């Protein structure tokens, strides 16, 4: 079946450090891929998306590239801020329009 695997957290970084959160997926066909972010006490917010191979999604300094050959969609940011501390979820949308999420990766950014 379709699934998403994310690196376990927490990921702890100092402010201005480079961030990578790994995400790989298993799916039939070529699903749309998403990154959602969940700040404490809030719902999930769409961070970025990619709908086909080699697409790069970007938003707020975050980027992720849809890599069909490695079935990956890793999230990156060049310089994290304390305000980026949150839980990040990688997700795919299957052929029945259902979002399937990874287990989430908590990011902690220290000043």
Partner 1 sequence: EAGVVQSPRYKIIEKKQPVAFWCNPISGHNTLYWYRQNLGQGPELLIRYENEEAVDDSQLPKDRFSAERLKGVDSTLKIQPAELGDSAVYLCASSWGPNRGGDYGYTFGSGTRLTVV
Residues lying near partner 1 in the complex (CB under 8 A): 4, 32, 34, 36, 41-46, 49, 51, 89, 91, 93, 96-99, 101-104
- Total Cβ atoms within 10 A of residue 7: 17
Distance separating alpha carbons of residues 14 and 66, to the nearest angstrom: 27
Q: Shortest gap between Cβ of 19 and partner 1 (angstroms)?
A: 19
Q: Shortest gap between Cβ of 76 and partner 1 (angstroms)?
A: 19
Q: Which is nearer to partner 1, 59 or 65 (CB)?
A: 59
Q: Which is nearer to partner 1, 20 or 103 (CB)?
A: 103
Cis geometry, peptide bond prior to residue 10 (ω within 30 degrees of 0) = yes
Distance separating alpha carbons of residues 42 and 48, to the nearest angstrom: 18
Q: Shortest gap between Cβ of 79 and partner 1 (angstroms)?
A: 25
Q: Residue 12 CA to chain centroid, in angstroms?
A: 16
């Amino acid at each position: 079946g379709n699934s998403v695997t994310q690196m376990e957290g927490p990921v702890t970084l100092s402010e201005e450090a480079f961030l990578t959160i790994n995400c790989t997926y298993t799916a039939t066909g070529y699903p749309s891929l998403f990154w959602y972010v969940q700040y404490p006490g809030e719902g999930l917010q769409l961070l970025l998306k990619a709908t086909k191979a080699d697409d790069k999604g970007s938003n707020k300094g975050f980027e992720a590239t849809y890599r069909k050959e490695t079935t990956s969609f890793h999230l990156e940011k060049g310089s994290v801020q304390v305000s980026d501390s949150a839980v990040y979820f990688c997700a795919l949308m299957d052929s029945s329009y259902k979002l399937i999420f990874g287990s989430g990766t908590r990011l902690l950014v220290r000043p």
